[in-house]
Structure 1
Amino acid sequence: MRNMVETLLLILPVCLFLPSFGLLKSLVGFLQPYAWDSLFIRWDVMLHGQDAWLLIQPIIGYPVITFIFAIAYQIWILLLYIAFPLVCIWRGNRELRQQMIISFLSCWIIIGVAMANWLASAGPCFLEPMIGDPRFQDQMAYLAAVNDQYPLLVLDVQKELLDSYLAGKHGLGRGISAMPSMHVSVAFLFALFGWHVSRWLGIVASIYCVVILLGSVHLGYHYAVDGYVAIVATFIIWIITGLFVKNSILETSAP
């Protein structure tokens, strides 16, 4: 009974926070204009010698592979509503569980809300319709051509997000924010957690994180630097949270 109550107390804040985050995310671009895209594009070119999507296009730019990446990107939502609740009820390592839960919430607040509003950027797929820059026109044309062969649900999601933004609508499931990438942040966080649980879980979670990072660029949602910044910020949060949890447990157990 005690374990059940503790689990509910862990999951309840997340259930309350995620809808609130959805509302806050819908305000990105309204509280502060999208003004960072040009800088992040320059960073991408500086790091890769060209736009990142062009660098990986010869390797994964095939319709069936794009379709697989799109599916992998869509099922990311299962990390929130299946994987994370499983972490909350996991009884293997209490300290690690607390570190994961606090890191998860901190990432949403710091990366998904604070940094997203500060570094408001639209991302490649929204650059032309929102800012008028056709730089990624060829990439979006490729995705549209793939969609004629294999249904890419990500394009439907992008259209819904754009329609909501242009209509000035706020609410759950809305909001456009490229930097930093919460998809990459959450996937990387689960990879960190996975390596502390078991080798095989760490390997699987790390492979999925790489797929999400590549998919975020290939599918037009993000610049590569969006993912890099998310990884660095998530790692810092993970380390600080670990120290906090460790010190809290030591203080609790002290005589």
Structure 2
Amino acid sequence: MTTPTPPLRPSPLAEQAAERIGQQIRTAVWPVGARLPGEVALAKELGVGRSTVREALRTLAAAGMVRSRQGAGVFVTADRPAEDWPARLRRAELVHVYEVRTMVEVEAARLAALRRTAADVAAVDAALEARRAAGAGGDAEFVDADIALHAAIVAAAHNPVLDDLFAQFAPVLREHLVALVAVFELRAMDRDHGLAAHAELVEAVREGDAERAGRVLAAELEATRARLLTE
């Protein structure tokens, strides 16, 4: 049984309705697994029309808090909105990002070595040269060039899902890596930090050596992950 609530203010009603229903869910008036009252009952309780209730429920469904079951009604599936992937990545520790990055990029490097085209090789070679040139610039410029090289290798794998995953990682990686380079002073003695390993990776992709490409990149990423764990 729900507690009576005052009618909503006449300004974005659907948004207010979604917030009110969400509040009832968060306070376990309607706990996870419960079926919500029907549209008519909700509309009467909130003092709005059924169309406003439907829009509010669509908002909550998009947030992962409710789900409609054909012929059964609308059920509570979570007591808070689902956090989207980019937000979760931004909140993650860099060492955890690196663990997942290794899983994604090592396989992408192997696939790139097997699937690369002449155009892919040219793009990867150009990205390596750009990374080398960025060694003379600032940390942000250097990190951008490094990420661009990795993106070119992922693109050479010709897997759109890998492309999308890396695109989600890239902004978070950039933010963390700019800070990482500065804190660890990675370029203090070597402005082209990691150039030899990246050149070997590009050579392995160019030559179609999938095992070597995966091995080189795995070693490079693991070295950074290990440093994050010990510093």
Assess same fold via TM > 0.5.
no
TM-score (norm 1): 0.23
